[in-house]
Amino acid sequence: MGDTYLGSAFANISKHSVEKELLNRMNKTIPNLNLTSGLRSFGYGSCTGWVYTHLNQALQNYSKAGFDDAIASLECANGGTPVADAFIEIETDLADAKGNIAVIMLSDGYQYADSPASAVLALKQQYGDKLCLHTVCGWVMRKK
């Protein structure tokens, strides 16, 4: 995610910055409803406190300002893409979740440490039709 985004929609910025911009745009479009939100990042390095995944915002009553703060806490991107670890931790994050659940994962799809399939299946088995997983995965492109 630290590489430069090569698409035409965003000029000469990192994929991490594009990710944050997409999250900000999503946040601006969410209506004022009674929702719960949280945010978890994944990678490895100083961005996540040298762990594979970091809870940036625990589940809480949604507010645009609160989610803006959570997005702002995404300072940088480094390391591989341990998305399986993030999905394993999401199971704990969602322990007190009520109602329907949407999990939105943004990634560049590069360097998955392990397949997230078994962790996603475990979530699906636990939450069934209450869970909807959305993925936003950019094609891996690198400048030469």
Length of the chain: 144
Query: Identity (one letter) of the amino acid at 92?
Result: T
Kindly report, residue by residue over 119-143, the tens digit of the pLDDT: 899 999 999 999 999 988 765 444 4
Give me Rg for the CA atoms of the chain: 15
Instruction: Say which range, 23-27, 79-83, 118-122, 140-144, has the weakest mean pLDDT.
Output: 140-144
pLDDT of residue 144: 44
Q: At what angle do helices 83-93 and 117-127 cross, to 10 degrees?
A: 20
Domain ranges of the chain: 15-137
